[in-house]
Amino acid sequence: MKKLVPSPQFPVPKNILVNALVNLGDVVLTTSALALIKKNFPETRITMLVKPVVADAVIDNPVVDDVIVLDYKAKENSFRKMRELVKDIRRRNFDLAISFDRKLRPALITFFARIPRRVCPSKVFDDNKSRVTLLYTDVIEISHDLNKTLQAETYQEIVRKFFKIDGHETPKFPVKNSPVADKLLARLPQKKFKIALCVKGTFPLKTWSKEYFAEVVRELRKKYDAAFFIVGAPNDRDYADEVIAEMGGGVENFCGKTSLTDLAEIFRRTDLFITVDTGATHIAATTGVKMVTVYGCTSPDRWHPINKNAVALTSREPCCPCTKKTCDNPLCLKNVTPAQVLDDASKFLA
């Protein structure tokens, strides 16, 4: 494994391209590694390459200086777009590229853009080897158990090993004024507590049952003077309506009504967030909101919200963590009970 050795011929990089063509939660977590770079090399300029759906998480982020959005659709003329992007990146004169994934597309982009130093991890999402690493000049060996290590620490380990630095940082998120948050929260009834819910994960084995969520809300209504609302992506809206019907109504549906920074501002004004393991969980964690997170097939050892006010609930089934999307008998979700969620929620609201 090659390591960074600053010298007159290769000083500490001042202009870094970071590839993060990953999902929202991962993009948020990678900012902890960028914070570590900025802490040690405050003059270094960091540009992030991201997908359009997550751009709001890094534009005006305190540890990101510029953003390149890769708007790629398979049915479009991708070759022409890639060629234009490579030319743009080449003009920016990056001296280092860091990849937080091992996808082929960003590897080819940085290779053909002739960025002189290109860094990727030996593993990041699984333990499988990849020939994509051959397109990089530096492959950082990740030796720890991925499932027993916070994903943010895996991203930071790439940076620590390459730059030969120490330390730990937390994810960062933009803070912006939000008229949308003002408007949505004004729709809630005047209650002592505002309680947010995220009821749908990105696949079934992350999604706690409608009946369980409904039981939690019904019991909290009996004990506390609280207003409830559901947050999520636009395509979660119909499912959220079904959950609200199960709850007996009286819950606002904010799915698809916010940008990512609007959502963060809503969390800052919320008393409690009850959620499944999803991207919104990691946005919420950056705000410090009190939160209870339900884990199904994924491991809280790896995906626990980085927030001292967060509780993670899991049944730790012998078959977990797993990579299945569906399961005939998902004990990992069934065995995290409404009573457990209510117990932790009550402690936060006491």
Whether 267 contacts 287, CB under 8 Å: yes
Q: Which residue has the higher pLDDT, 80 or 263?
A: 263
Is 248 part of a structural domain of the chain?
yes
Smallest Cα–Cα separation from 88: which of 71, 110, 108? 110
**What pLDDT, on the 0 to 100 scale, is given for residue 75?**
55
Cα distance between residue 252 and residue 69, in whole Å = 32
**What pLDDT, on the 0 to 100 scale, is given for residue 74?**
55
Residue 8 has pLDDT above 50, yes or no: no
Cα distance between residue 82 and residue 72, in whole Å = 9
Confidence category of residue 308, pLDDT binned at 50, 70, 90 = very high
- Among the ranges given (15-24, 250-259, 317-326), the one the predictor scored with the smallest mean pLDDT: 317-326
CATH of the domain at 202: 3.40.50.2000
Q: Tell me the average pLDDT of the chain.
A: 93
This prediction's pTM: 0.93
Same domain for 157 and 207, yes or no, is no
Is 157 part of a structural domain of the chain?
yes
pLDDT in tens, 86-124: 999 999 999 999 999 889 989 999 999 999 999 999 999
> In this structure, which long-range contacts are made by residues 247-252, counting pairs with CB atoms below 8 Å and at least 24 apart in sequence?
247/213, 247/214, 247/217, 247/218, 248/214, 248/218, 251/197, 251/217, 252/184, 252/187, 252/188, 252/227, 252/228
HSE, side-chain direction, 13 A CA sphere, residue 294: 31
Q: Is the dihedral of CA 210, 212, 215, 219 positive or negative?
A: negative
Is 39 part of a structural domain of the chain?
yes
Q: Which residue has the higher pLDDT, 152 or 13?
A: 152
Token pair listed for 104:
């082929």
State whether residue 280 is helix, strand or coil.
helix
Same domain for 222 and 246, yes or no, is yes
Token pair listed for 249:
């109504």
Residue 7 has pLDDT above 50, yes or no: no
Same domain for 28 and 153, yes or no, is yes
Same domain for 76 and 144, yes or no, is yes
The whole domain housing 312 covers 179-349
Same domain for 103 and 47, yes or no, is yes
Smallest Cα–Cα separation from 254: which of 278, 283, 230, 226? 230
Is 9 part of a structural domain of the chain?
no
How many residues are given for the chain? 350
Same domain for 233 and 335, yes or no, is yes
Residue 1 has pLDDT above 60, yes or no: no
Same domain for 190 and 145, yes or no, is no
Cα distance between residue 174 and residue 165, in whole Å = 25
**What pLDDT, on the 0 to 100 scale, is given for residue 207?**
95
Whether 36 contacts 165, CB under 8 Å: yes
Residue 266 has pLDDT above 60, yes or no: yes
Is 189 part of a structural domain of the chain?
yes
Same domain for 343 and 196, yes or no, is yes
**What pLDDT, on the 0 to 100 scale, is given for residue 323?**
85
Is 8 part of a structural domain of the chain?
no
Same domain for 133 and 226, yes or no, is no
**What pLDDT, on the 0 to 100 scale, is given for residue 3?**
45
**H helices present in 148-209, as ranges:** 151-163, 179-186
pLDDT in tens, 159-177: 999 999 999 999 999 999 9
Confidence category of residue 320, pLDDT binned at 50, 70, 90 = very high
Same domain for 206 and 292, yes or no, is yes
Helix (H) or strand (E) holding 48, with range, is: strand 45-50
Cα distance between residue 206 and residue 328, in whole Å = 14
Same domain for 147 and 187, yes or no, is no
Number of domains present in the structure of the chain: 2
Is 171 part of a structural domain of the chain?
no
Q: Which residues contact 236 (CB under 8 A, 6 or more apart)?
A: 199, 200, 255, 256
Q: Which residue has the higher pLDDT, 291 or 323?
A: 291
pLDDT in tens, 33-62: 999 999 999 999 999 999 999 999 999 999
**What pLDDT, on the 0 to 100 scale, is given for residue 12?**
81
